[in-house]
Structure 1
Amino acid sequence: MGSTEKLGRQLDVLIVGGGPVGLITAFQLAKFGHSKSIAIIEKHPKSSQDQYGRAITLYPRSSEMLDQLGLADELAQECFACRSTVSYDKDGNEVQGRGWAFMENMKDTQWDFALVLRQKYQEEIFRRRLKELGVSLEAPIELIDVQISETMPEDGHRITAVLKNRNTGVEETVKCKYLVGADGGRSFVRRQLNVPFDGSTSEDKWVRIDGIIETDMPKTRVYGAIESPTHGNVLWAALDHGATRIGFAFTAERQRAYPEFNEAAAVTEAIASVKPFSLKFKQVDWFTVYSVGQRVARRFFTQDCVFLAGDSCHTHSSGAAQGMNTGLHDACNLGWKLSMVLHGLAQPSLLYTYEAERLPNVQKLINYDKDISRLMTMQLPIGWKGDPNIDPNEVLGTVMEEASTFTSGLSIAFETNKINVKGSFVATSDPAPVSPGQRGPDVWLQKPGTMESTRLHVQTPNVARFYIIVFAGEPEHTTPDLKAFSQAIEASKTLSNDALPISWLVIPAKSGPSAFELLGVAPLGRVFYDEKQTAHLRYGVDSKAGGVFVLRPDGWIATAAKLQVSSVVELEDYFKGIFQ
C-alpha cells in the first residue's frame, strides 16, 4: 500500500454526488437512523459549484414530499411562490391558455404553486439540515474505482470503493453494502458498472441566463412564455431574491455569429429573444448553453447493491422543468425502502420495487419531453399527424395542459406490486377517487379538544413508517364494526407488534368532546375529526360504512380494506409480504 493510500471505513451506504438527489437520499437515511453508517461524497469543491443557475422549480408533489420530511418550510421562506403565468405572442400581445398556463390550476394540494428557488439555495438548506443529523458532505472527494464481490453474501459489504481526495491526492478504500450513484448525467457509477444509457442528444442548443433585469414587459414576476420567431418559445421565470431567468433556443444560424459564446453573447441573445420588449441586465448571476436530448439508463438497480438516481439514470431537456423534481421522486422512493432493509425489518426484495416504480414514470416523462422540447424550438413533434401548418406554440399549450397533473407530480402513480395491493375496500364512486399506487391526498382534519385545523400530511410525516388510517365514518353506524376490528387488531401478533414501523390514525366523520366516547371504543391510535366529511369524500369512503387505508412512508396509498373483522387477516397478509 502506497503512502498516499489508506484503508478506510465500513459503511452501509455510500452516496456519490452532492446535489439535491444525493443530499435528500442521505438526509432520509440519516433521519431514519443511519447517520453513523453512511457517507456522501462530491468530487467538486462546493464553493466552485455553488454558482447560481441549474434547477429552479419544485412542483407540488415534490414540495409535499419535502414537507413530509420536514424540509419544505425553509424552502418556502426563501422561495418565489409562483401562482401566475403569462404568454405573449411575437407582437407582444397577451394570449390565453398557452405556455405555462397549467400552473394556475394545480389544485388538491396545500402546495398549489411552483416553488421557485435556485439550486444553490436549496442545497445550502439540505447540507445544513443533513449536518444537524451528524452527516457532512465530503468534498472534493472523487470515486475512482468500484468493485463488487460475487462471492460475498447479499447482506455483506460486497462493494469496494476507492475514493480520492482531489486536494491532497490521498486515496481511501471504503467497503459498503450499497452504493447510490447520484452523480449526474456523466455518472462514473453508471459507466463503471456498464449500465447502458439509451437515447440521443439532438442538434438543438438552448441558453439559460439568470440575473437582475429591467424591462418594459407588463407582467414580469410570473412564469412566462414569449413566442419569439427567432428564439422559439422563450422561458421567462421570476426567481428568488428578485432575480429572473430567461431561456431560449439557440439556433445553428445564430451560433455562427459567435466564435466564442461568453456572457456578452448570452446577454445579446437574451435581449433579442424577448423582443418586442426591451431588456437590460443590471447584473448577470449565471448563464449556460447546452445540447438538448433524452436518455434513460436501462437499469436503475444493478447487481443487487447499486442504485442510480437523478440525472445519473435519466436526462432530458429543462423544457417542462422536471429534472430536479424527477430526481427527488427517485430519492424519496428509495430512501425508506433502503432504510427498512438496513434495519432488518423488510425483505431485500423490497428494493426491486424502486426500479419497477420509477422507470415507467421516467419513460413517461421522456415521451412528454421529446414533444415539449421540439415544440419549444418551433418544431412539431416527430410523427405529428395534425395540421402541418399549425402554430407550434398552440400545440405546446395543449401538450403542457395534457401533461399538467403528471408535471405537477400529483398524478404520478405506480402499478400493482408487493407494496401496492388492491384490497377489499369498495369506493362510493366508480372510478374510485383514489386507489393503491396513487398519491394519498392531503385532507383537512381537526384536532380533538382545540378543534384546530391540521392536515393529513402533517400528521403522517415520512419517518420510514407505514400509517394505517381508519376512516371510522359516523359512529352510530360503524361502532359495532369498529369495536370488532379493534379487538381483532389487538389480538394480532403482526399488527400489534410495536417493533414494526406501523402507526395508526382514526378519523371519525363527526366530532365530540371525547374521542373515546365518540368512537365507543379505545382508539387504535391518534384521533382526528372529519366533521365536514370532506376527508371521507376525497378518499371515497361511505360515512355509514367506514374504511381502512394504508399509506406508505412516502405518502402513496399501499392498500385499502373494508372496516370489518376479516380485513385484519388482509392487513396481516399485506405486511407479511413486506416485513421479515
Structure 2
Amino acid sequence: MPESAACVDVLIVGAGPVGLITAFQLAKFGGVSVRIVEKQAKSMQDAYGRAITLFPRTSEMLDQLGLADELLQNCFACRDTVTYNAHGQEVPGRGWSFMNHMTDTTFDFALVLRQKFQEEIFRNAMKKHNVQVEAPVELTSAGVDPDTPPTGYRVRAVLLDHRNGHHEQVRCKYLVGCDGGRSSVRSMFDIPFEGSKTEDKWVRIDGQITTNLPKPRSYCSIESPTHGNVLWAALDHGATRIGYAFTDDRANAYPKFDEAAAVKEAIAAVKPFHIEFDRVDWWTIYTVGQRIAKTFFLDGCIFLAGDACHTHSSGAAQGMNTGIHDAVNLAWKMSLVLRGLAKPSLLETYQAERLPNVQRLIQYDKDISRLMTNRLPEGWQGDSDADVNEILGKLMEEAGSFSSGLGIFYDIQGDNPLNVKSPLTSSWKLLVNPGMRGPDIKLYRPGTFEPTRLIRELPNEASFSVLIFAASSSTTYNEPAVPGPVYLQDSPVLQPLVAQGCLRFITILPERAPSPYELLGTNPLGRAYYDAKGDNEAYRRYGIGPSGGIVVLRPDGWIGTLLPLGKEALSELEGYFSRIFL
C-alpha cells in the first residue's frame, strides 16, 4: 500500500439522499470510518426539483433512524387524492387513489418534501456524527487489489478535489456507488446496465401558482387527451409540481423549448382548469427508461445503490423511495460485518433481497409510464380500444401496497439466513411471515400507561429485536413454556449478542398491571410494554394467540422469523443467529 494513501473503511461516491442516508447510518452505528464525496458543488445541487415524495414504509424506516421528526416539521403531508377527466369531472378509483388505502401505519400519507430540503436534513444529521460531504470532489479511478486479503483495504481509488486540483490516493474496504444513473463507479468496474431507454419524454415544472382547480392541495391526476395523464402534486412551502408528456407535438411547436414554453404547455395540460405561475422554481425535460445493473455487488467490496443500479420513470414516484430502501438494507449489514460481528456472507443478501423488488418495480413502471402517455402497455392482449386511464387506475391500485412500501417483502431463500420459516410454526395460521414488514403496533408504557409505537421503541441501531409476546393471564406462568432469563437470557449464544449490542429483548404483555412483574411473576426480558388498552390488538396484528409467541425483527424492521413461546424455541433462536453472527 502506498504510504501516501489515506485509509477509510467505506468510501461513498454521490451525496444525494441514498449516499447521505448510507453515510449517516454507518456513522450513527459507530465503529466504522466513512467518507462521502460529491463531484458537484453544493450550489449546483441546490435546485428545488428532483424527487419529492416519501411513501409510508420509507417514512417508517427513517423514523427508526431518528430522521422523521425533522422531515415532518418541513413537509406537506398529503392525504388527499383526486382524478379529473378531460371535462374536469372527478373520476373515482383512478390515478393516485391507492393512497387512500395506505392504512396499518402511523404514516398514512405521502410525505412531500422536495429533495433540496430532504438533503439538508440528512446532511445536518450526518454532521452530528462528524461526517461531512466533501465537494466538489470526483472519483477519477478505482480498482480492486487482488493481493489484499478480504478484510483489508482492497479498493484503491483516486479522488480529484476540484477546489485545489489536488489528487488524493485512497484505500477503502468497501466502495459504494450512489452516484446516479450515469454512475462513474458502475462504469469503472464495467458493470452492464441492462434494459431500455424509450423515446418518451416528460416535463416537470415546480412553482407557486394561482388556480381554480377545486382541490389544489392534493396528489392529483388530470386525464388530458393531449398531454397524457398529467401529474399535479401539492408541494412543501405552498408550491405545486405539474408534470406532462413531452410529445413530438410539444417539441415541434417551439424552435426552442425553454421555461416560457414549459409554462405555456403546463397551462394547456391542466385544461379545463386555469393556472397562472406566480413564480417558477425549477423545470426539466427527461427521458423515460428502465434499466438494472447486472450486479449490485462485485468482488465482495464494490456496491451500487439507488439510481446507480436501477433507473425508472417518476410515474409511480418510486425513485427516491427505492434508493432509500437500498441504503437501509445495506448499511446495517455492512456495519455489522466491518465491526467483526457478522459473517461477511451477510453482505450477499443485499442483492438477493433488493434485486427482486427492483425487478417488480421495473415491470410496473414500464406499463405505468406508457399508460401515462396515453398508450397501452407493450404486449397488451386486451381490447385495443380500452380506456388507458381506466387501465392505469387498475394497475396503480394493484401496485398500491408495493408503491406504499408496506407490501414490500423479502423472499425466503435457502441461502439467506435472515428470513427463515420455522418448522415450529407449521401449524399456525400466520397473519405475517418472515420477510414481511413488521407491523408498527400501538403499545403502552408501564406505570404511566403512556401510548407509544413499536417503531419508536425500536430505533435502528444495527441490532436485532426479539419480541416476547407473553402468554395471556389464563396461562399458568410457572409452566416450563414461560419465557424467562434461564433459557433465553442466559443462552451462551444469545447473551454475548446482547452484550455486544447486536440483540435486544422486548417483552409485550397482553394486559395492564401495576408492574410487568405482577403479570409474569419474574422480571421481563428487556423493556416491557402493554398491548394497547388490553384489547390484544398487537397480538392479533402479529397473529399471536393466548399461548404467546416470539417474533424476531431485523434491524431494518422486517420479520426474520416467528416461533411459539417455549423452551423448544431456544435452539431455533440460537440456530438463527449462529448463521448470521461470528
TM over 0.5: yes
Please state whether the residue corresponding to 2:187 is helix, strand or coil.
Answer: helix
Distance 2:490 2:258 in 1: 71
CA deviations over 1:184-220 (Å, ceiling 9, x no partner): 0000000110111001111111000000001111110
2:484–2:524 CA contact under 8 A, matched in 1: no
1:181–1:309 CA contact under 8 A, matched in 2: yes
Distance 1:478 1:573 in 2: 28
2:507–2:525 CA contact under 8 A, matched in 1: yes
2:75–2:112 CA contact under 8 A, matched in 1: yes
Distance 2:232 2:569 in 1: 52
Distance 1:96 1:200 in 2: 33
Matched, 1:502 2:503: yes
- Deviation of 1:267 (Å): 0.4
Distance 1:263 1:155 in 2: 52
Please state whether the residue corresponding to 1:553 is helix, strand or coil.
Answer: coil
The one of 464, 469, 483 equivalent to 1:466 is 464
Distance 2:23 2:73 in 1: 23
For residues 171-250 of structure 1, the aligned pairs below 5 Å read: 171-250=167-246
Name 1:562's counterpart in structure 2.
564
CA deviations over 1:240-285 (Å, ceiling 9, x no partner): 0000000000101220122222111110110110111111100000
CA 478–385 in structure 1, closer or farther in 2 if over 3 Å, else same: farther
Name 2:536's counterpart in structure 1.
533
Distance 1:555 1:137 in 2: 28
CA 284–6 in structure 1, closer or farther in 2 if over 3 Å, else same: farther
Please state whether the residue corresponding to 2:326 is helix, strand or coil.
Answer: helix
Please state whether the residue corresponding to 1:371 is helix, strand or coil.
Answer: helix
TM-score (normalised: structure 1):
0.97
- Deviation of 1:34 (Å): 4.0
- Deviation of 1:521 (Å): 1.7
- Deviation of 1:25 (Å): 0.1
2:180–2:308 CA contact under 8 A, matched in 1: yes
Please state whether the residue corresponding to 1:208 is helix, strand or coil.
Answer: strand
Please state whether the residue corresponding to 1:381 is helix, strand or coil.
Answer: coil
Distance 2:4 2:269 in 1: 55
For residues 76-475 of structure 1, the aligned pairs below 5 Å read: 76-416=72-412, 417-426=416-425, 430=429, 432-475=430-473
Name 1:572's counterpart in structure 2.
574
Name 1:542's counterpart in structure 2.
545
CA deviations over 1:24-55 (Å, ceiling 9, x no partner): 000000000046x1100000001121110000
Distance 2:358 2:217 in 1: 31
Matched AA of 2:509: P
CA deviations over 1:434-478 (Å, ceiling 9, x no partner): 111000000001100000111111111100000000000314416
> Size of the alignment, in residue pairs?
573
Matched, 1:25 2:28: no
Please state whether the residue corresponding to 1:14 is helix, strand or coil.
Answer: strand
Q: Which ranges of structure 2 fall in alignment gaps of 5 or more residues?
A: none
For residues 44-63 of structure 1, the aligned pairs below 5 Å read: 44-63=40-59
Matched AA of 2:536: Q
Matched, 1:13 2:3: no
2:202–2:286 CA contact under 8 A, matched in 1: yes
Matched AA of 2:166: V
- Deviation of 1:548 (Å): 0.4
CA 6–205 in structure 1, closer or farther in 2 if over 3 Å, else same: farther
Please state whether the residue corresponding to 2:70 is helix, strand or coil.
Answer: helix
Distance 1:254 1:22 in 2: 36
Matched AA of 1:572: E
Distance 1:484 1:120 in 2: 48
**Range with greater deviation from structure 2 (167-176 or 228-237):** 167-176
Q: Which ranges of structure 1 fall in alignment gaps of 5 or more residues?
A: none
Name 1:512's counterpart in structure 2.
513
**Range with greater deviation from structure 2 (225-234 or 480-489):** 480-489
Matched AA of 1:459: E
1:44–1:141 CA contact under 8 A, matched in 2: yes
Alignment RMSD, CA only?
A: 1.4
Distance 1:473 1:355 in 2: 38
**Range with greater deviation from structure 2 (413-422 or 134-143):** 413-422
